[in-house]
């Protein structure tokens, strides 16, 4: 057998350090995106556009690029998109919460009933000489692991949606300076979601494993069985986001078609309608 690249102690240090570095890196990218300034205005243009006494207007500081009409329109569109996205997420998470509770109960019942909710230790399958933790303990820890995975996925999805709606108008305004500026802003906002999701998942999983080891000790069989459900929780919430988000965006696509036809007499899938989505194969 080959030699180990890292010792156990080095691995215990490297994993959380990498997770923290990923979180810090994503926050730095968020800060860089936010450098396209947001200036609060207390005077609302209409009662419906006022939120907490402020309106968000994107202000460009470079000379010659401070067309406030364009900037204000971008801010108005961004506000509408952000409001719609947040409304969608909050509605979706209501159903996700019901599913999460129901599925967690099923996991507990199915895994606990393997040995009739036994509280007695049993011989390990990989080594009959060793005793493993009871099925009831595995059911409980698996349920907790599923809930943690689901919460991590939900949190990551929410943060990803916020940074996406936060950066869309800023990317548009940066595009007036050139494609490079717009690409950098869009890339940084995407990096926030990518690094934050991976770093959060790694950090929460690392903490969960170490907490579970306090109970399981050398019982690797029970530990691996219970920790596997963490991925199930995360993928289940991602499935909701994928299916629900697809339906939501398709509804927005159809709505954009109807608005274009009724208000501007624009044909379906016409490039003059900026709300249209195109997929290039």
Lowest mean pLDDT among 70-84, 101-115, 204-218, 264-278: 264-278
At a CB cut-off of 8 Å and minimum separation 6, what does 217 contact?
none
Strand partners, 131: 123
pTM above 0.85, yes or no: no
pLDDT digits (tens, 9 = 90+) for 139-160: 899 999 999 999 988 888 888 8
Mean of the per-residue pLDDT values of the chain: 77
Lowest mean pLDDT among 119-133, 174-188, 222-236: 119-133
Position 175 scores a pLDDT of 81
Position 24 scores a pLDDT of 93
Element (H, E) at 12: helix 8-33
% of the chain beyond a pLDDT of 70: 81
**SS3 of the chain: helix, strand, coil, percent, to 5:** 70, 5, 25
When pLDDT is cut at 50, 70 and 90, the band that residue 39 belongs to is very low
Strand partners, 132: 122
Q: Is the pLDDT of residue 273 over 80?
A: no
Which of 35-49, 214-228, 240-254, 264-278 shows the highest mean pLDDT? 214-228
Position 68 scores a pLDDT of 66
Q: How far is CA 221 from CA 56, 134, 149, in A?
A: 54, 11, 20
**More confident call, 57 vs 147:** 147
When pLDDT is cut at 50, 70 and 90, the band that residue 96 belongs to is confident
Place of tokens 């959380």: 16
Q: Is the pLDDT of residue 271 over 90?
A: no
Q: What DSSP designation does 125 have?
A: S
Q: Are 111 and 133 in contact (CB under 8 A)?
A: no
Position 146 scores a pLDDT of 93
**More confident call, 31 vs 57:** 31
pLDDT digits (tens, 9 = 90+) for 165-223: 888 878 887 887 888 888 888 888 888 888 888 898 899 999 999 999 888 888 888 88
Tell me if residue 113 falls in helix, strand or coil: helix
**More confident call, 4 vs 26:** 26
When pLDDT is cut at 50, 70 and 90, the band that residue 115 belongs to is confident
Q: Is the pLDDT of residue 227 over 80?
A: yes
Element (H, E) at 122: strand 122-123
Tell me if residue 51 falls in helix, strand or coil: strand
Position 102 scores a pLDDT of 92
Q: How far is CA 230 from CA 96, 107, 144, 151, 152, in A?
A: 16, 12, 8, 10, 9
**More confident call, 134 vs 104:** 104
% of the chain beyond a pLDDT of 90: 12
Position 218 scores a pLDDT of 80
């Amino acid at each position: 057998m080959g030699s180990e690249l890292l010792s156990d102690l080095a691995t215990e240090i490297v994993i959380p350090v990498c997770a923290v570095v990923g979180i810090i890196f994503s926050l730095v990218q968020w800060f860089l995106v936010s450098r396209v300034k947001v200036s609060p205005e207390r005077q609302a243009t209409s009662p419906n556009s006022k939120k907490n006494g402020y309106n968000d207007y994107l202000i460009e500081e470079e000379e010659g690029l401070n067309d406030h009409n364009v900037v204000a329109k971008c801010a108005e569109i961004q506000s509408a998109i952000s409001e719609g996205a947040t409304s969608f997420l909050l509605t979706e998470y209501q159903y996700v919460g019901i599913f999460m509770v129901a599925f967690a109960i099923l996991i507990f019942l199915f895994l606990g009933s393997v040995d009739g909710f036994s509280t007695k230790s049993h011989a390990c399958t990989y080594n009959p000489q060793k005793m493993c933790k009871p099925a009831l303990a595995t059911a409980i820890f698996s349920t907790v692991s599923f809930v943690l995975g689901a919460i991590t996925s939900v949190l990551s999805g929410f943060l990803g949606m916020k940074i996406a709606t936060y950066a869309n108008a800023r990317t548009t305004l940066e595009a007036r300076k050139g494609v490079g500026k717009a690409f950098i802003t869009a890339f940084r906002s995407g990096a926030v979601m990518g690094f934050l999701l991976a770093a959060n998942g790694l950090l929460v999983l690392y903490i969960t494993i170490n907490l579970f080891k306090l109970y399981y000790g050398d019982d690797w069989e029970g530990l691996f069985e219970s920790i596997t459900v963490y991925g199930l929780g995360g993928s289940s919430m991602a499935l909701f986001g994928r299916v629900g988000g697809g339906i939501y965006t398709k509804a927005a696509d159809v709505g954009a078609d109807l608005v274009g036809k009724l208000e501007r007499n624009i044909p379906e899938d016409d490039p003059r309608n900026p709300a249209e989505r195109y997929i290039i194969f």
